């Protein structure tokens, strides 16, 4: 009897301690979830900028030099209002040597803010490249540099002139493929477009000789343009593993396109033949061409990431829409 009462007392004590622990845990979590009001102090950084306190411990945000710890600045700054907030921002190249013989180049952007600056760093631009100039034009930060061909070793001096384009989108630094120019507006890119005449068909149009991409390669270029009368019909058909042909219907800049695409693989690449068809006045205009897309996963980083980013950013629909606008019959 005595031992039975003793066990009950021990059980009650243990239960009380457990409930006390649970209550403490709940109280502690509630305290942590409450918003923290930090003081409005500012820390002056070595470059003259200032940062404020933030976070659960109200610690000072890292200065630009601290945010870029491990990077080395390379070259001069380019300035401009990158995010259209009325403040002058800055951008420049930085390098990082994680070990070994590699020297990796990145684009660093300093977005000015009324309270504190924001530092953004791009994905790697290239390893042991030869930077040329960095400029800000038409809302894009343009990094010009020389690199090697995909199959060349690092012992070869960079000799292929390339450019990468970046924009601030939703507060993030993102690579973009530049618009190849609306030839009707006389943009800079349109100056590189050539005029193509189809003998015997009285058709002429403009097209870019250079797509300004590194990994995507045109095969049948310029496109084959055909004009005929008829009714615009698009029988949408999704591609499957056993059926590489697919047909999509898209609207771009208020123009409706029927897009047929047929893909086949060969030697680590995918060759896709496209046919874009749209109606202009009472005519059906079609543009047929083939592009080669390499398998990005066959590359090692940084080229694998570069290839994937280029694929995502490449605005093929916009390119064809601009070309179709230039089609004329004589």
Average pLDDT per 10 consecutive residues for the chain, totaling 330 residues: 62 74 60 58 64 68 68 90 92 88 91 82 90 89 86 87 84 75 45 74 84 87 91 81 76 90 88 94 92 92 87 87 86
pLDDT at 187: 45
Q: State the SS3 of the chain.
A: CHHHHHHHHHHHHHHHHHHHHHHHHHHHHHHHHCCCCCCCCEEECCCCCEEEEECCCCEECCCHHHHCCCCEEEEEEEEECCCCCCCCEEEEEEEECCCCCCCEEEEEEEECCCCCCEEEECCCCEECCEEEEEEEECCEEEEEEEECCCCCCCCCCCCEEEEEEEEEECCEEEEECCCCCCHHHCCHHHHHEEEEEECCCCEEEEEECCCCCCCCEEEEEEEEEEEEECCCCCCCECCECCECEEEEEEEECCEEEEEEEEEEEECCEEEEEEEEEEEECCEEEEEEEEEEEECHHHCCCCHHHHHHHHHHHCCHHHHHHHHHHCCEEC
Which pLDDT belongs to residue 105?
Answer: 94
Instruction: Return the pLDDT at 33.
Output: 47
CA atoms lying within 13 Å on the CB side of residue 174: 15
Task: Give the pLDDT confidence score for residue 48 in this predicted structure.
Answer: 59
- pLDDT for the residue numbered 200: 72
**Is the pTM for the entire model greater than 0.85?**
no
């Amino acid at each position: 009897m005595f031992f039975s009462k003793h066990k009950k007392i021990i059980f009650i004590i243990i239960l009380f301690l457990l409930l006390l622990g649970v209550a403490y845990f709940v109280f502690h979590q509630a305290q942590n979830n409450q918003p923290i009001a930090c003081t409005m102090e500012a820390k002056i950084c070595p470059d003259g900028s200032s940062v404020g306190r933030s976070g659960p411990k109200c610690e000072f945000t890292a200065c630009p030099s601290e945010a870029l710890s491990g990077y080395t600045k390379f070259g001069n700054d380019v300035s401009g209002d990158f995010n259209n907030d009325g403040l002058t921002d800055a951008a420049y190249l930085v390098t990082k040597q994680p070990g070994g013989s590699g020297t990796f180049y990145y684009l660093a952007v300093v977005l000015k803010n009324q309270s504190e600056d924001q530092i953004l760093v791009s994905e790697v631009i290239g390893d042991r490249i030869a930077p040329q100039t960095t400029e800000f034009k038409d809302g894009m930060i343009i990094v010009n540099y020389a690199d090697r061909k995909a199959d060349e070793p690092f012992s070869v001096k960079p000799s292929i002139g390339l450019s990468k384009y970046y924009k601030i989108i939703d507060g993030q630094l993102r690579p973009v493929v530049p618009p190849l120019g609306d030839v009707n507006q006389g943009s800079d890119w349109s100056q590189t477009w050539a005029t193509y005449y189809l003998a015997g068909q009285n058709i002429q149009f403009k097209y870019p000789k250079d797509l300004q991409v590194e990994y995507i390669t045109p095969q049948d270029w310029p496109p084959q343009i055909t004009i005929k009368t008829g009714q615009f019909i698009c029988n949408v058909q999704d591609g499957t593993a056993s059926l590489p042909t697919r047909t999509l219907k898209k609207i771009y800049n208020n123009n409706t396109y029927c897009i047929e695409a047929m893909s086949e693989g060969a030697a680590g690449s995918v060759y896709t033949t496209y046919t874009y068809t749209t109606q202009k006045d009472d005519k059906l205009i079609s543009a047929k061409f083939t592009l080669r897309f390499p398998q990005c996963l066959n590359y090692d980083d940084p080229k694998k990431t570069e290839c994937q980013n280029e694929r995502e950013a490449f605005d093929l629909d916009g390119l064809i829409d601009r070309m179709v606008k230039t089609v004329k019959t004589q």
